[in-house]
Amino acid sequence: MRIVIKAKQPGFTLLEVLLGMSIMSIMMLLLFASLRICVQNWNAGEKKIAQVSQAAIVQGFLQNKLQAALPLDADFFEEEQFSFQGDKEKMQFVAAMPASASRLGLQLFNISMKKSVGEDGHELLVDIQPFFPQGDDAEQWKEEQVVILKKIDTLRFAYFGPDSDDTKIGDSDEDSAWQNEWLERKALPRLVRIDVELINGEVWPQLVIALKINSALGATGKGGSSMGGRGGAFTSGEL
């Protein structure tokens, strides 16, 4: 009688299979956890970049326009008007648009905050309209309103300057202070401060803007100008 001995077939035991699957599950869990952390960090980085970019764009816009603010006399108005008006939540001033803009000439800027519709927080609005027409083109008179920032919790403007318009060129800043309002003043403020806090708790770096026109014309903002600026009057709007 012949006895046939079969060779042992290579393979894994049930215990080895279970152990291998357990190790693979742990490795996959660690891999997906690492991937999740990487995605979260990526999204957080993009969100932070977007926030910084938004702050830089809005602050750059406000800085450029306020530094271009002009004190103007407006003798053609029946009542006395003023070239710069502001309180804690809104400002109005006149400035020239750059040569590259489609809106030529002096423009009247109204910067104000209002409650958002359908969203939490407030919006920062900029209304732009021509100070006076540059020709017969009707587009020169077209008013434009732009929302430059949303989801604002608090926004405050403050103005640094003397308590009266009697300050002369060369006077010290001893009589100057930060004020919550700058109304019915022929002189421009020396500095404008802007504080912004969003509803998500983000607090923007405080922005302090020096009005360049004062450096050239002195503390009262008076002097000759190719744009016709002398005493600082033009319009007070609704402030």
List per-residue pLDDT tens for the chain, 239 residues long.
566 555 566 667 888 888 888 999 999 998 888 888 988 888 888 777 877 788 888 999 899 899 888 887 555 555 566 778 999 999 999 888 776 666 667 888 999 988 888 888 899 999 988 876 555 555 555 667 888 898 999 999 999 998 876 655 445 566 789 999 998 887 889 999 999 999 988 899 899 999 876 544 444 444 433 333 333 333 344 45
130-157 CB burial, b ≥16 within 10 A, e <16: bbeeeeeeeeeeeeeeeeebeebeebeb
φ, ψ of residue 148 to 5 degrees: the values are -100, -10
Alpha carbon distance 86, 113 (integer Å):
12
* 213 Rama class: left (phi>0) / alpha (psi -120 to 50) / beta: alpha
**By the 8 A CB rule, do 174 and 162 touch?**
no
Alpha carbons 214 and 205: distance in angstroms, whole number = 24
Instruction: Tell me the CA distances in angstroms from 47 to 43, 93, 138, 232, one per residue in order.
Output: 6, 33, 42, 42
Angle 92-97-101 (CA atoms, 0-180°, nearest 5)? 135
Give the count of alpha carbons within 13 A of 74, CB side only. 21
Q: State the amino acid at position 35 in one-letter form.
A: L
Burial of 124 (0-12, 13-18, 19+ CB in 10 A): buried
Task: Please write the tens of the pLDDT for every residue from 154-189.
Answer: 999 999 998 876 655 445 566 789 999 998 887 889
Spatial separation of the C-alpha atoms in residues 49 and 44, rounded to whole Å: 9
Q: Which DSSP category does 139 fall into?
A: G
